[in-house]
Amino acid sequence: MKVLIRAAAAVLALLVLALAGLVAMVLADADAEATEVTGGGGAGGLRGVPEEFRAWILRAAEECEEPELTPALLAAQIYQESGFKTSREEATSYAGAEGPAHFMPGTWATWGRDADGNGQASPWDIGDAVTAQGRMMCSLVKKAKGSGYPGDVRALALAGYNAGWGRVEQFGGVPPKSFANGQTYNYVRSILATMKRFEGPGLLQVKGSGSGADALRKAAGRLGTPYAYGGGGPQGPSRGFCSGGGGYRGGTCVADDTVGFDCSSLVQYAYWPDLKLPRTAAAQYGATSDRAVSRQNLKPGDLLFWSHGDSGAIYHVALYAGDGNVLHAPRTGKTVELVPLSTAMPDSDYHGATRP
């Protein structure tokens, strides 16, 4: 089932102008839409990845005929290899592997292609790297299926990617802990354990243009990312910290071990760099309060605020996602999620909305 999410203001405007015989004008000015994609969290779903990786991961998985090679598996593998980093400083391994998918030069010569059409095949180009990773993993999954070796074919393929298929043949399966200080063994276990984090439907496929739609689209790419008090910023998720009562769960500080966003850093990230909003929810309200929007006229990408009293006590911000839903980073122990506006935070604390 697909649910069309359209801003309430556009719907009301469409009805009014249709009565006046001006429907064509409305259609020419259609607001952003967001489609909720259902279908569960297994084979085709993907969440919690940077927007710039998302389309390439989905494409790489789709191009492989082996159902074991899911988008979530590819995402977890990139996360293990580079943490979705793309700079030469951060995405070069100690062994000299390069790019977000960590290709050695010799291996890149076999699998690298100019997937993004920019005139060169480079392990530093996200599209080139991810599609090469997908082709190599697809080939390894096929080898694993035909090998007769025991165990999960995904584990065998991952071991081949990390250590070379020759090592899988040498050990008749995933190399043991004793091989290379457990590097390949732990590599495989870590990726298979991390997959769950990236599984799930891409809950929002945002259509339309404009700053609000663009911000919502960017934030939607982070669905499933952990909440980290004090974490996150314009460049993406980062490790949080504990302060006052924030960042604790069950009396234990968890934020300093969690890489993610809090509510305001997610909003800041979504609009950056086109609009450089300040860091905190209260400051974001202060920066946009002159463009207030009523609850009846919300559009995708509008900012919604909750307060313990007046504007000086604002404690939470979220992005309006259309059809009465919001996208936000709620609290410690949760992840970036899509929920009804009425249940996102106590309705009595709702302070108002603004349009950045």
Q: Which residues are catalytic?
A: 81
| Distance from C-alpha of 19 to C-alpha of 312, rounded to nearest angstrom | 43
Q: What is the DSSP string of 185-214?
A: HHHHHHHHHHHHHH-S----EEES-SHHHH
**Helix-then-strand count for the chain, H and E:** 13, 13
Give the CB-side neighbour count of residue 201, counting CA atoms within 13 A: 12
| Distance from C-alpha of 324 to C-alpha of 341, rounded to nearest angstrom | 6
Strand partners, 335: 226
| Distance from C-alpha of 279 to C-alpha of 226, rounded to nearest angstrom | 18
Cβ(341)–Cβ(320) below 8 Å? yes
| Distance from C-alpha of 267 to C-alpha of 175, rounded to nearest angstrom | 44
| Distance from C-alpha of 89 to C-alpha of 222, rounded to nearest angstrom | 24
Distance of CA 311 to CAs 92, 233, 308, 329, 333, Å? 46, 23, 9, 20, 27
| Token representation of residue 262 | 């809090």
| Distance from C-alpha of 153 to C-alpha of 150, rounded to nearest angstrom | 8
Sheet of 2-6, strand order: 2-6, 33-37, 205-207
For 210-258, list the strands marked E by DSSP.
238-239, 248-249, 252-253
226 by DSSP, 3-state: which? Answer: strand
Phi, psi torsion values for 20, nearest 5 degrees: -90, 5
| Distance from C-alpha of 109 to C-alpha of 85, rounded to nearest angstrom | 21
